[in-house]
Amino acid sequence: MTDSIDVSSAELANSLRAIDESAPLVQALTNEVTMNDVANLILHWDGLPVMADSPGDAGEMAHGADALLLNTGQVPATKVEAMREAARTATERGIPIVLDPVGVGSTPTRKDVAQTLLTDVTFTVIKGNYGEISALAGVEADVKGVESVGDYEEIEETARSLADSTGSIVVASGVEDIVADADSTYRLTAGHEMLGEVVGTGCMLGATLAAFNGALEDEHAAALHGTLAFGIAGERAAELRYEGPASYRTNFHDAVAGLTADVVSELDLEFSGRIERVA
């Protein structure tokens, strides 16, 4: 049984306006493959990116950050140490922390790193693809490298279980996105198939959630609005001319930068039915 939840253009515009007005400093410890895209996407949402990811500097930079993103796309010992330093500072300051457990489930090392972080840190949001979220929840998952493959018919229940056990909001990204906390689970319909043809869009969703959480007090609204805005930008990117993944990637960055509060206020984005509460 599902209940449709409408997010108005005004509500999404208010969230985008909050980011623009506060310009949250988002510290991202991410992998080198997607670092530039992550930094640019934070900037396109009107946040301020900083990629301080070495021991010492990471903990120090977190003293001034408004949100922290930990992405485990690469897990050398020094970066893991920097993540733990930054997370300790962020926890002491009470700022939101987003975990993107890239590739967890594909190797024992990545699983150990993710489990260590989960033991040491209470995350505001845990964002991953269906396979990564399933692996973290202890459910059978098929992750090849950093890609989720296989069928995940119980992903709503899996995301809810992980949210319940961690106290985090869980965002499971896929054909449909799932946003769950201990009390509720939502299914979001937004995005475009071309997002799956560009390396790093998952990392960029993590950056989006960090930017929204850095500006909004309501963590659940930040997760829902951030995930929805990301998908809408993916759709708008496909409306522009593109020849393939490379030009679509450029369109997507432009679409994010162009999805301002004023633009959203004037658009009929047909939000009705895009967010369903799953019971």
The answer to whether the beta carbons of residues 140 and 152 sit under 8 Å apart is no
- Angle at CA of residue 56, ends 51 and 61, nearest 5°: 45
Name the E strands within the chain: 2-5, 25-29, 48-50, 67-71, 97-100, 125-129, 142-144, 147-149, 169-173, 177-180, 185-188, 275-278
Tell me the backbone φ, ψ of residue 192, rounded to 5 degrees.
Answer: -145, 150
Q: Which of 213, 269, 270 has its CA nearest to residue 98?
A: 213
Cα 164 from Cα 174, distance rounded (Å)? 21
Q: Which of 202, 20, 195 has its CA nearest to residue 99?
A: 202
Annotated binding residue 64: no
Residue 9 three-state SS: helix
CA 104 to chain centroid, in Å, comes to 15
Based on the number of CB atoms within 10 Å of its own CB, is 253 exposed (0-12), middle (13-18) or buried (19 or more)? middle
Annotated binding residue 127: yes
The answer to whether the beta carbons of residues 162 and 137 sit under 8 Å apart is yes
Residues belonging to the binding site for substrate are 51, 200
Residues belonging to the binding site are 51, 127, 173, 200
Residues belonging to the binding site for ATP are 127, 173
